[in-house]
Structures are given as structure tokens and as C-alpha cells.
Copies of this chain bind each other. A is one copy, B any other.
Amino acid sequence: MAEHNDFVVTPWEVSGEIDYEKLINDFGVDRITPELMKRLEGHTGTLHTLLRRGLFFAHRDLGWILDEYERGNPFYLYTGRGPSGHTHLGHLVPWMFTRWLQEKFGSKLLFQMTDDEKFLFNPGLSLEETNSFAYENALDVIALGFNPNKTEIFSDIDYCKTLYPLALGVAKKITYSTTKAVFGMRNDSNIGQIFFSSVQAVPAFLESVRQGRNIPCLIPHAIDQDPYFRVARDVLPRLGYFKPASIQGRFLPGLAEGGKMSASIPESAIFTTDTEKTAKKKVMNAFTGGQATVAEQKRLGANPDICPVYHYMTFLFEDDDTKLKEQYARCKAGELLCGEHKQILAEKVAAFLKSHQQKREKAKEKD
């Protein structure tokens, strides 16, 4: 957990203006160095946009994962989703990155839907609801084009026959003290919440259990989930397994003021189930780094660094570094006005949604 005056990052809450430098320190993770990127590039040919732009920026033991890979000991990937609602574009960021890793390294992927967690941590959600969101969210995962022969998506509830006995082995090694220190568990926490970290640890060694030998595991994830995997890294060697490695990304900011994204402000995020019209409207209504009037903006320029429109381009919608730099410079210079910038983004978002929703519909047939 990282709780500062101006921002909070826990597995259940991300708010405020996040200082990622502080997070590296809080969580004790390593920065992805230029050397490590070069080493990755040696295997992947090119670097994913999110790596090039420092949006996947931290890791644990990524060097070791590459050591093993180079020794002919490939890793599998594990990531997941807490299905508390519909998928928004922010969720897609680490999944797309994971898909890229799968493609480049030919890795098997375990994708965990923590419907148990979301039930336990959300007073207003029933297990039927979180389980149903797990299915809905899985459609988005499938739509992203993971290799169907190398990808397993499961919900904790649906797969608990396998997960629960393995979680017990983890749970036996985690004390209440640890969950207090790492997750901020308290006297009024429910006992399911306290138990849950053991369930999230299981996919980090599940493939080793299945194959009866230790297989390295790499977990791409948004950095708020790090506490879970820190605990897993502590426990797994005591059960005879490898520590899972991880590679950690930033959060796609929301569309509301200050880059806020909130479940209670649906306009602050674009959901994969939004109509093109709704999505466009959300983009056009987004907060920006612009000035109060066009005249002022032409004179003073705008601030792309705090602008969701610019961030959406950076994370998801402008792969071309030259074009992105150009947008940045023109925005700063007051040449690219917010209305125009939004218009470009809105078209890209709409095109993406159209294509994604088609694949999402097809995914329904598969299940």
C-alpha cells in the first residue's frame, strides 16, 4: 500500500495525482532500465509502445525471467481482473501489453477473474453479479485476440475446486499480521477479505503444480496490485516454488478533472460496452489541459501533461511516436486546440469500439 497526503494506491483504491517515483520507492520495485529494455528488444524485435513510453515502468525480477528464457526455460504469463463492473479502456492497457508479451514470447497465459474478491470487498455486489461481470469482462479479454490455444480464462468461483486447496497451502503461511501490514486489514475487515490474498497467489504457481516442475511466471499488471504479488513472492519459495516476476504499468487516467476515473462518475471512463455515440460524447466532454478561452489558449498554449485527451493518445490511440510528439508540441504551442484534439481522439475511440465490439460479439459464440 502507498498512502500519501496527495494520493493513495492500494489494490482497492487508486486516487489522487499519482507520483510513480514515490511508488517505486513505496513498493520497493525496480525501474525498467534502458539496458533491460534493450535486452527485451533483443527477443521481441520491437518494443511495445507502453514500454517505449515508460508506461510499463517497473518490475520485479524481469532480468531473471529473461535469464531463464535465454537458458531455454520459458515463462508463463499470469494476469487478471477484479470483475466489479464493465470493462473500461483503462483495464485494456495491461491486457494489451500482456497480449503482446504472449505473442512475442509464445507464452501460455492464465487469466484470473477474482469474482470472489470483488464480492468480498464491495458491500453492494452479490456473488452472482461479480460472477456475471467475470463473464462479461472475459468477452473483452477474448476480443483482444489472445492466442486461444495458449490462454485460459477462469473465475475464482467457477474454478475454486482447483484453486481453494492450493490457496489453503498459501494461507497457512500468511499471518494476520502480514495482511495488516501489507493490505491494511483491520478488526472490522471481513474474514473473506483477510483470506483472499492466498487465492490471488495461486495462479503464480498453478502451472508449476500442473506440470510437476517449477516454471517461471511473469505477471504483467497495473502497479496497485503489487502488494498481492509481494506476499506471493514471500510465500511461494517456502512452498517450493519460484518467486513470480512482475512487470508493472501506470494507470490510464480518467476523463474527469485531474485525470480522475471513478465508478460513480460514468463519464470519467469509456466502457467497452458504450455506444460509439456515448463514447464520443464522453471524449468531447472530457477535462483537458486547455485554457479558459480559445484566444487565451492560442496565446499561452495548453498543458498536455495533465490532459486526459493527450494521455489517451499516449496509452492507446497514437502508436506513432513522431505524430504523438507533434501533437504534444502543437498543443503546448497553442496550435492544436482541445476541440480538434478531442475530435481526433473521439474518431479513434469510436473506430476502436466498433471493431472491439464486433470481436466481443464473436467471443460470445465461443463460450
Contacts and interface: CB of A to CB of B under 8 A. Distances in A.
A176 B186 contact: yes
Contacts of A173: 190
B160 A176 contact: no
Interface string A154-176: 00010011001101110111111
Interface size class of A (residues with CB under 8 A): 20 to 34
A141 B157 CA distance: 30
A192 B176 CA distance: 9
A67 to B, nearest CB: 32
Contacts of A189: 175-176
Interface stretch (A35-43, A177-185, A273-281, A340-348): A177-185
A175 B198 CA distance: 18
A119 interface: yes
Most buried by B among A174, A190, A198: A190
Contacts of A209: none
Given A161-B160, A161-B161, A165-B127, A172 B192 contact: yes
Interface of A is mostly: helix
A142 to B, nearest CB: 24
A192 B195 contact: yes
Given A127-B168, A161-B160, A161-B161, A187 B191 contact: no
Given A120-B172, A127-B165, A191-B198, 5 more contacts: A116-B168, A157-B164, A175-B188, A176-B190, A195-B195
Top 6 closest pairs, chain A to chain B, by CB: A171-B192, A195-B195, A161-B161, A160-B164, A177-B187, A171-B191
Interface of A: 116, 119-120, 127, 157, 160-161, 164-165, 167-169, 171-177, 179-180, 185-192, 194-195, 197-198
